[in-house]
Amino acid sequence: MHFLENYLNKRGYKAISPIFPTTLGSLEECSVNLSNYIDTLNLSIGDTLHLVGHSMGGLIIRRCLASRIIAGLGRCVLIATPNAGTLLADLASRFLRHSPMNPFKSIRSLKTSAEKIRGPLNSPCPEIGVISGNSSDFSLGLVLRSQNDGRVEVESTKIDAMKDFIVLPYGHHEIHHREETAKMIDVFLRTGNFKLDLGAGHSDLLLYGER
């Protein structure tokens, strides 16, 4: 997430990119870690905290929002997040289920049969923007049923609670390293949609996702 962190800092945000064990930790464990990290920020009255997540990072944000109320919560952006799971996780689970040591606890939460994450507890519900990619130059992308980014199908990234949605021509492992993506995040955090509006200001931002 360092590209987005640097870009948004230059745009006037105070962006932070914490690192959590998304490979060895379960979705629940990582969401607790995120919640605890937010508490260490000691936000002041009037501060606004936006959340941005890539891939599983978006699921961790959603699980965190479903488990607690966050004071000063602003807008959220989910990038290439498998909100409805991915067939690749289903396949990986089949290969790993007989392994005596499965280090990938997070795969369970990425399956298409994974338990649905509840909506945010904050009221009103925060505005959530979803960014999906549709460039699949990765061989596993051929396994997926429809338009995808090589890892996640475009339709799988959508959620009922999203305020706006956009598809960009990038793959799963590059989409959060592209300036166009960063620009769309900036626009959404300032306006609540992906249409450019130069009239709004900035606030604080927490970035969280897979590297």
The model's pLDDT over 99-124, given as tens digits with 9 standing for 90+, comes to 554 555 667 777 877 789 999 999 99
- Above 80 in pLDDT, residue 35? yes
At 201 the pLDDT is 46
At 179 the pLDDT is 96
At 209 the pLDDT is 43
- Above 80 in pLDDT, residue 96? no
SS3 state at 64: helix
Could you give the CA distance from residue 208 to residue 211 in angstroms, rounded to a whole number? 9
Could you give the CA distance from residue 145 to residue 29 in angstroms, rounded to a whole number? 31
Q: Please, what is the average pLDDT of the chain?
A: 84
Centre a 10 Å sphere on the Cβ of residue 100 and count the other Cβ atoms it contains.
4
Confidence category of residue 202, pLDDT binned at 50, 70, 90:
very low
One-letter amino acid for residue 132 of the chain = S
**Listed range (16-30, 84-98, 116-130) with the worst mean pLDDT:** 84-98
CB of 129 within 8 A of CB of 95?
no
**In Å, how far are 8, 117, 172 from 134, measured between CA atoms?**
24, 24, 8
Query: Which CATH number does the domain housing residue 205 bear?
Result: 3.40.50.1820
Domain count, the chain: 1
Confidence category of residue 200, pLDDT binned at 50, 70, 90:
very low
- 29 or 142: whose pLDDT is higher? 29
Range of the domain at 89: 2-209
Of all residues in the chain, the percent with pLDDT exceeding 70 is 80
Of all residues in the chain, the percent with pLDDT exceeding 90 is 60
SS3 state at 209: strand
Could you give the CA distance from residue 62 to residue 122 in angstroms, rounded to a whole number? 12
pTM: 0.85
The model's pLDDT over 149-191, given as tens digits with 9 standing for 90+, comes to 999 999 999 999 999 999 999 999 999 999 999 999 999 999 9
Could you give the CA distance from residue 105 to residue 124 in angstroms, rounded to a whole number? 32
The model's pLDDT over 59-77, given as tens digits with 9 standing for 90+, comes to 999 999 999 999 999 999 9
